[in-house]
Structure 1
Amino acid sequence: MRLDLGAIAKAGSSKANQTGSWRNFKPIFHQEKCIGCSLCKIYCPEGCVTMVEKKKYTVDYTYCKGCGICAEECSSSDIDMVVEEK
């Protein structure tokens, strides 16, 4: 990926930079205690969390860096961060 002056990536280039391999931990969505608050989706800095149906979310592991923000913000503690097995 080419960066312009000031280290700014070209618009629309984030899809080409698949950052999932950077991860040491990955989020596991249990779908048991979810109340559908969408905080995991709202706070994900990469936009990896999407709603599949009411109270069911999924993660695009191609871009998920494993930061754990989704698990930290989950108001029902329904997301666990587990060690990534490579």
Structure 2
Amino acid sequence: MAESPFKADIERAQKELSEKMTPGAIVYIPGSSVINKTGSWRVFKPEFNRDKCVRCYLCYIYCPEPAIYLDEEGYPVFDYDYCKGCGICANECPTKAIEMVREVK
């Protein structure tokens, strides 16, 4: 097979990129997701039904992001700036007080 006439250009571009890019999956600053709002690419979002909630806090405990906090009465509040729509909260809720619905933007 013939060598690409662009081989030198491709190799140069790869070298430049490798010098500028950091390896993936490395967190240089722990807790930096608080700085970077991560909810913008969400497809589904949790909808909360307060009447069904028994305040077991499983949604709060299992949420992998700082996306759920508790109000003064102990009910969960969803911070959609950080919620990725993973659905773990809805899956863990024993009373089905959280339902995942398609995000409308």
TM category (shorter chain) comes to 0.7 to 0.9
Q: Does 1:17 align with 2:17?
A: no
Show CA shifts across 1:15-34 (max 9, x none): 22111101000001110111
Equivalent-residue separation in structure 2 for 1:51 and 1:83 (angstroms): 24
Equivalent-residue separation in structure 2 for 1:73 and 1:51 (angstroms): 16
Structure with bigger helix share is 2
Rg larger for: 2
- The aligned amino acid for 1:58 is V
Structure 2's unaligned 5+ residue stretches are: 1-20
- The aligned amino acid for 1:82 is V
Identify the residue that residue 83 of structure 2 maps to in structure 1: 64
Could you say what the CA RMSD is over the residues aligned between the two structures, in angstroms? 2.0
Residue 6 of structure 1: CA displacement? Answer: 6.3
Deviation beyond 6 Å, 4+ runs, structure 1? none
Paired residues in the alignment total 85
Alignment CA distance shift 1:3-1:14 (3 Å): farther
Overall identity of the aligned pairs, in %: 49
1:5-44 superposed matches below 5 A: 7-44=26-63
Equivalent-residue separation in structure 2 for 1:68 and 1:31 (angstroms): 17
Alignment TM-score, normalising by the size of structure 1: 0.85
- The aligned amino acid for 2:47 is I
Alignment CA distance shift 1:5-1:24 (3 Å): closer
Structure 1's unaligned 5+ residue stretches are: none
Structure with bigger strand share is 1
Range that drifts further, 72-81 or 49-58: 49-58
Identify the residue that residue 96 of structure 2 maps to in structure 1: 77
Alignment TM-score, normalising by the size of structure 2: 0.71
Q: Aligned to 2:50, what secondary structure does the other structure show?
A: coil
